[in-house]
């Protein structure tokens, strides 16, 4: 699991770095960002994994969210991977913005064309954490996960499918019920085939019915001026209803005037770091 350092910049007393490596799960070179807070120079610290949305790379969160100051204050490593394999030579991988490159949807594909490379679920929940723990001063017992849009979907399902693996979860404008929205239907049909019961294994709404583990504490922020919320792509209300039925605590905050952008994320990211720190440092 050799890493190649692509870039490093000192910020708020720590280091924002970008690394590349050849992924065994994905069969291609992958980049990820990692922020190492000043505290990590003398001790092992907790880790927050951030999963980005459609069309993003590892750079979006690193350059737009303002997370480094918060990570330095709270003393946490922040890891931001890419959103899909890239350059795999699969016919059609670059044909659309919401499927293929930049749109891995954090599933392990089962359809023949995609199943060798499109294994983002196993990459973010298994291979990447192993890589982080092997190469950085990360406390393997204290990790959590958050994300935005498609990445919010990824964070929610990763948490719900792995009880106890993550201490906390939160999301900005997540795709909460992909089985029932156009983005999810397109991605799941392409990656997982036509059996809709298989889709439910990667649907946060459906996974609430199966969850058995420590009582979670889920935080979701959703902008009221988000065009994709209005287009019924995100469906947070359905997820909240499913959580209520399953007796899973969740807080959904509807934010007046905010859209789907990183301006929205930056506005409330401090609240999310505080949410994670409360659990990571308990």
Cα separation, 132 vs 59, whole angstroms: 18
Is 149 designated active site? yes
Cα separation, 19 vs 4, whole angstroms: 5
Q: Which residues does 122 contact at the CB level (< 8 Å), separation at least 6?
A: 25, 108
From the candidates 148, 153, 177, 260, which is the catalytic residue? Answer: 260
27 φψ region: left (φ > 0), alpha (ψ -120 to 50), beta (else): left
Look-up: residue for tokens 């931001």? Answer: 80
| Structure tokens given for 250 | 């969740």
Cα separation, 202 vs 106, whole angstroms: 8
Look-up: residue for tokens 């720590």? Answer: 14
From the candidates 23, 52, 84, 149, which is the catalytic residue? Answer: 149
From the candidates 144, 177, 226, 276, which is the catalytic residue? Answer: 226
Length of the chain: 282
DSSP symbol at 46: E
Helix (H, G, I), strand (E, B) or coil at 201: helix
Q: Active-site residues: which are they?
A: 149, 226, 260
């Amino acid at each position: 699991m050799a890493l190649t350092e692509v870039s490093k910049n000192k910020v708020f007393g720590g280091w924002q770095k970008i690394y590349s490596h050849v992924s065994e799960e994905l069969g291609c070179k992958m980049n990820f960002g990692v922020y190492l807070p000043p505290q990590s120079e003398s001790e092992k610290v907790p880790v927050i994994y951030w999963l980005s949305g459609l069309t993003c790379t590892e750079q979006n969160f690193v350059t737009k969210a303002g997370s480094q100051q918060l990570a330095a204050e709270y003393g946490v490593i922040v890891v931001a991977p890419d959103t899909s394999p890239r350059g795999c030579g699969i016919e059609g991988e670059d044909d659309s913005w919401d499927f293929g490159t930049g749109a891995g949807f954090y599933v392990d594909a089962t359809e023949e064309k995609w199943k060798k490379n499109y294994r983002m679920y196993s990459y973010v929940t298994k291979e990447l954490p192993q890589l982080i723990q092997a190469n950085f001063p990360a406390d393997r017992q204290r990790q959590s996960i958050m994300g935005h849009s498609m990445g919010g979907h990824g964070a929610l399902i990763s948490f719900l499918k792995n009880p106890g693996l993550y201490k906390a979860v939160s999301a900005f404008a997540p795709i909460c019920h992909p089985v029932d929205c156009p983005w999810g239907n397109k991605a799941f049909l392409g990656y997982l085939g036509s059996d809709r019961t298989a889709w439910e294994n990667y649907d946060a709404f459906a996974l609430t019915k199966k969850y058995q583990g420590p009582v979670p504490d889920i935080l979701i922020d959703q902008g009221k001026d988000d065009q994709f919320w209005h287009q019924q792509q995100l469906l947070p209300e359905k997820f909240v209803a499913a959580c209520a039925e399953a007796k899973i605590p969740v807080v959904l905050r509807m934010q007046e005037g905010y859209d789907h952008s990183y301006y929205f994320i930056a506005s409330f990211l401090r609240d999310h770091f505080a949410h994670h720190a409360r659990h990571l440092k308990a």
